[in-house]
Homo-oligomer: A and B are copies of this chain.
């Protein structure tokens, strides 16, 4: 049996093999959203199970769900140590528009210190680096400092529809003391990063009906409700005038105000507003009164109309009074807002702002997600901090994001554990877009940090 003095030497000695593994994994087009790729999704799951076994993990299985399978493996012989659940996903986004790729999305190209391929950043590399860290310990010492369970799903890119049911039915198998997700990013090699908070999500569709059919503005103009006037009024009523502060009664009731240290963390973040503005591509940023744009993104819930329509959309003129109008609205939520509770508040707001005699229905949209924030002094977070400091040479920054990672709230809710988001993608890797890539230098740091993370967790 191949043995080296320690896991660091093992990782260094195996970089070429790891890279060819990575390229093999990336070559499987495991697109979860397109039914015609089902066999490829299954092939990726089988490839991953095989790779887990070769890393020395035990009880490796490809397990059925209502949709695509999950791949599970564990190593549970660190008797007095805690148990860490490692989360990831092996499915990828579709690659279209294909013509915008410089090299084919499923023929990984190694150029300029990067690997270009669909899934390179999101997140086949991050899945493999967790395996590499396990393999390094197991191969060099025959054991791991913590118990680990790996849970790699195949439906993240379609919203993880089967996972909550599967988790609820496999509580024993996935029980743990804390979890880590490598579906996460680093600001850069000089800024070791942990994403400590992500927003929740809820949405509604509003449907306004004012008459049985569109009416003639010459006959009924000014004397009947216009569905688009009613809906515009409703939308306008949802924010305070000329700000992004939401005026829905009770919307902020459960919001935890950022502590002084949170705001300081935000102010010191390498992501300053100007960089952020340029990355978004707008000429100015706005924000809620009393918050900077970055604070708005990190700490404040938002309400955005995603789409709205009614009446005549063709060329020219059609003098109707539309009898129907529709809007889709989603809110990004922060701790401790609850998606279902916010939907009730939105319904109540709409009810109170609808003129008598107008029919308005509010339907929840699918895709509820809880907000999630890691408690700032949690031991697993401190272990991750220490691992990043050790292996990347500087104190990590903690950032929050305005986006939603439903699995964080899901693991917290269903397993009752905190989740550390520790991944080695960059923040501008063209994920979900043409020419997705991962920076090889950053990616290669990943298994070192995870191997060290296991050690720190093992000594808790």
Contact = CB atoms under 8 A, between A and B. Distances in A.
A332 interface: yes
B297 A221 contact: yes
Interface in A304-342: 304-314, 316-322, 325-328, 330, 332
A286 B237 CA distance: 21
Nearest to A244: B222
A13 interface: no
A285 interface: yes
A229 to B, nearest CB: 6
Q: Copies per complex?
A: 2
Contacts of A288: 222
B403 A219 contact: yes
A379 to B, nearest CB: 29
A218 B235 contact: no
Contact of A402 (B221, B244, B306, B307): B221
A319 B286 CA distance: 19
Contacts of A403: 216, 218-219
B219 A402 contact: yes
Interface stretch (A52-60, A62-70, A275-283): A275-283
A328 B315 CA distance: 10
Interface of A: 199, 201, 203, 210-213, 215-226, 228-229, 231-233, 235-237, 239, 241-242, 244, 280-288, 293, 296-297, 300, 302, 304-314, 316-322, 325-328, 330, 332, 355, 357, 365-367, 401-404
Given A282-B211, A288-B222, A319 B306 contact: yes
Contacts of A219: 280, 297, 402-403
A211 B280 CA distance: 9
A317 B406 CA distance: 15
19 contacts: A203-B317, A210-B282, A212-B281, A215-B280, A218-B332, A223-B286, A224-B280, A224-B282, A224-B286, A225-B286, A226-B304, A228-B308, A229-B235, A232-B232, A236-B236, A305-B311, A306-B319, A307-B312, A312-B328
A327 B201 CA distance: 29
A297 B235 CA distance: 28
A284 B357 contact: yes
B229 A305 contact: yes
Contact of A223 (B216, B296, B311): B296
A403 B217 CA distance: 7
Contacts of A203: 317, 319
Given A286-B224, A287-B223, A365-B317, A218 B308 contact: no
A306 B217 CA distance: 8
A240 to B, nearest CB: 11
Nearest to A432: B216
Contacts of A330: 217, 317, 319
Contacts of A223: 244, 285-287, 293, 296-297
Contacts of A355: 242
A80 to B, nearest CB: 40
A441 to B, nearest CB: 25
A4 to B, nearest CB: 42
A365 B401 CA distance: 44
B313 A307 contact: yes
B305 A228 contact: yes
Contacts of A282: 210-212, 215, 220, 224-225
Given A317-B203, A317-B366, A328-B312, A220 B280 contact: yes
Q: Which 6 A-B pairs have the closest CB atoms?
A: A218-B403, A307-B311, A307-B312, A222-B302, A232-B235, A221-B302
A399 B349 CA distance: 42
Contacts of A229: 235-236, 239, 304-305
